A and B are shown apart, each in its own frame.
Chain A
Amino acid sequence: MNDFNPVTLFFILSESIGAWLWVLVALAAVLLAGILAGIMKLRSTGMPARRPLVTALLTGLVTTVVFTFLVPIWTLAGPGALGAPIDILFAVLIALIPGGVAAAAVFAIMALVPNRRAAAIA
């Protein structure tokens, strides 16, 4: 296993999740575009970034914490399977994926959609 490199990891990931890999890549691209568009919108309108940023970070944090406990269940293990610091670290790293998605989505929505509608959506 000690020849891991980005190309090998790509093929392993591709074989593991199949077409979902490209769905995730597309989702990441959409979210990245949303973040960039949100930043540009905030700058062009002169709106402060603090509120969407803080809300996004809090949403991402809560989502990551929740998913940290769900990740072992995804692996068919019980929620109490995380016994060592390295286990928790990897669970957090995996949970950061949904956490990051949630944070990016909230930021983009709050930055791009007018305040009232954004609050309702978020």
Chain B
Amino acid sequence: MNRRKFLIAGSGAALLAGVPASLTVTQARAQTSDTRAHIVIAGAGAAGLALASRLRRSMSNATITIIDAKKEHHFQPGFTLVGAGIWSPAQVTERNVDYMPRGIEWIEAAVAEFDPEANAVVTTTGQRIDYDFLMVATGLKLDYEAIEGMDASLIGRDGIASIYAGPEQAKSSATAIDRFIETGGVGLFGRPAGEMKCAGAPLKITFITDDKARSKGRRGAVELIYNAHNPAVFAVAPVNDKVKEMFAARDIAVNYSHVLKAIDPGAKQATYATEAGDVTLDYDFIHVVPPMRAPDAVKNSPLPWQEGALAADGWIEADKATLRHPRYANVFSVGDIAGVPRGKTAASVKWQVPVVVDNLVAETAGRTPQAIYNGYTSCPMVTGIGKAMLIEFDYDGNLIPSFPFIDPLKELWVSWLIEEKGLLGAYRAMLRGRA
């Protein structure tokens, strides 16, 4: 029995055998473990830092190594507000070092290679690091180049916006939106076909553009078209119905089953793949949401799904209730990279991290892991400056509102209050493992 097998002996089988369905994520409770395991966390984004903070407090004797070359940390849920022109890039930009817990080894490099057969990773600097447990929290890759004619450097030029690429690009997008409203014309919005982070953001930026145009008395000068990637604008049925109703009321046209495949910035034309073949639309403004996929190091490793809908883009194979890898029992994936339905928001991370940590703590302490992630995610759907719908749902698409006094399908200022004033503090507390 090698060291890793010894560490997980006795409890891994119980975990893999499943746990009672009645147990939910809320039953994850802080416990401690005296294990001296070496835990490697690949990635210091929202998931990586939150994992590091909780693991450090729960496993005081463990050696914890976090690997990430990035020094800046971005509060990505705030990108929409930067794109709306009401937040500055500085408000969503922080330093990873400020959230790195004490007693953690931070290797400032990226993971170049995952070798789960040998329980090791290799960094871009050539360092080989062995582990007992691996937490993959690398985030995802924005694949702008997968759209013919598109690359991130075009954002902010020729009517092209995209709030996903970063704080400065979100700011450039806000400028592009304002310019579009001033000059008028056709504005195109949409989303990619595959899994993506914050699937509500493409809708939010559509609503925001509409709202800003109305507030400037320019709504009649702009034509807004949302190109949905399939026959719905949102995957959760009641939300889909509500957004369609709102789009109709606000004169926002919808094309269904349109996936952006090419863009010609010079001619201001966008080509969409549709069931009836390619369709090219003229635009004066376009908000591009890139296809998203696993970073190359993950995609080229044995970790991704080998078949199924999540295989092509390289999402890591994971049990959706525990985020444990089915083939490599000492590997977990958390956050955007996890190959689970819908879980690509900071709200998902907030619930995934305690489940993974509590189960690992229980396992290494000889107890039976019991925590389950139910797929909770949240989308404060901004529908205008000062209004939002606080939508929370699970894997099954059930609306699961946290606050009984907030109607998730009603535009409310109090939901906006949570978005504008509440989320950043909650996010920072999450990074410190305190929320």
Contacts of A91 in B (CB 8 A): 413
A-B contact count (CB 8 A): 86
Contacts of B400 in A (CB 8 A): 2
Contacts of B26 in A (CB 8 A): 2-3
- Whether A12 contacts B410 by the Cβ 8 Å rule is no
Interface size class, chain B: 20 to 34
The reply on A83 being an interface residue by CB < 8 A is yes
Contacts of A7 in B (CB 8 A): 434
The reply on B378 being an interface residue by CB < 8 A is yes
- Whether A16 contacts B434 by the Cβ 8 Å rule is no
Contacts of A3 in B (CB 8 A): 26
In-complex Cβ contact of B422 among A11, A12, A76 (8 A) = A12
The reply on A1 being an interface residue by CB < 8 A is yes
- Whether A86 contacts B425 by the Cβ 8 Å rule is no
A19 to chain B: closest CB distance in Å?
14
B400 to chain A: closest CB distance in Å?
8
> Chain A interface mostly helix, strand, loop or mixed?
helix
In-complex Cβ contact of A1 among B378, B413, B421, B432 (8 A) = B378
User: Contacting chain A: which of B11-19, B277-285, B385-393?
Assistant: B385-393
Asked, given contacts A75-B386, A78-B385, A83-B412, whether A11 binds B417 with beta carbons under 8 Å apart, the answer is no
The residue in B86, B403, B413, B435 that gathers the most chain A C-beta atoms within 10 A of its C-beta is B413
Closest to A94 in B: B417
Contacts of B432 in A (CB 8 A): 11, 15
The reply on A84 being an interface residue by CB < 8 A is yes
Interface residues of A in 14-64 (CB under 8 A from B): 14-17
Distance between Cα atoms of A77 and B416 in the complex (Å)? 9
- Whether B425 contacts A16 by the Cβ 8 Å rule is yes
| B interface residues, Cβ below 8 angstroms from A | 26, 86, 347, 350, 378, 385-387, 392, 400, 402-403, 405-406, 410-414, 416-417, 420-422, 424-429, 432, 434-435
